[in-house]
Amino acid sequence: MTPLIFLFMGVLHLLPSCCGGPVLEDGGHLKTFGEIKEEIAGYQNVAKAIIDLAVYGKAQNRSYERLALLVDTVGPRLSGSKNLEKAIQIMYQNLVDDGLENVHLEPVKVPHWERGQESAVMLEPRNHSMSILGLGSSVGTPPKGITAEVLVVSSFEELHRRASEARGKIVVYNQPYKGYPESVQYRVKGAVEAAKVGAVASLIRSVASLSIYSPHTGIQVYQDGVPQIPTACITVEDAEMMARMASRGIKIVIQLKMEAKNYPDTDSFNTVAEITGSKYPEQVVLVSGHLDSWDVGQGALDDGGGAFVSWEALSLIKDLGLSGTEISSTSLFCGFCCSRICWEFFFTGLRPKRTLRLVLWTAEEQGGIGALQYYQLHKVNISNFSLVMESDLGTFMPTGLQFTGSDKARAIIKEVMNLLQPINITQVFEGGEGTDINYWIQAGVPGANLLDDLMRYFFFHHSHGDTMTVLDPMQMNYSAAVWAVVSYVIADLDEMLPR
Known catalytic residues?
364
Alpha-carbon distance 123 to 127, whole Å?
A: 5
Amino acid identity of residue 313, one-letter, is A
Give the ranges where 391-453 is alpha helix by DSSP (H): 407-417, 438-442
Q: Give me the sign of the Cα torsion angle 76, 79, 83, 85.
A: positive
Helix (H) or strand (E) holding 92: helix 82-97
Give residue 337's region: left, alpha or beta (phi > 0; psi -120 to 50).
beta
Using the 8-state DSSP alphabet, how is residue 423 labeled?
G
Kind of pairing, strands 253-258 and 118-124? antiparallel
- Separation between Cα atoms, residue 216 and residue 210, nearest integer Å: 11
**Quick one: residue 275, left, alpha or beta (phi over 0 = left, psi -120 to 50 = alpha)?**
beta
What is the Cα–Cα distance from 27 to 400, expressed in whole angstroms? 34
Amino acid symbol at 68:
A
CA 94 from chain centre, in angstroms, equals 19
The pair phi, psi for residue 217, each rounded to 5°, is -85, -170
Q: For residues 30 and 495, give the distance between their C-alpha atoms in angstroms, rounded to a whole number.
A: 8
> How far is the C-alpha of 232 from the C-alpha of 462, rounded, in Å?
13
397 touches 471 (CB < 8 A): no
Q: How many CB atoms lie within 10 A of CB 200?
A: 21
Bond preceding residue 26 cis, omega within 30 of 0: no
Single out the residue of 398, 288, 302, 380 nearest to residue 55, CA to CA: 398
Distance from C-alpha of 135 to C-alpha of 229, rounded to nearest angstrom: 11
Q: Are 152 and 252 in contact (CB under 8 A)?
A: yes
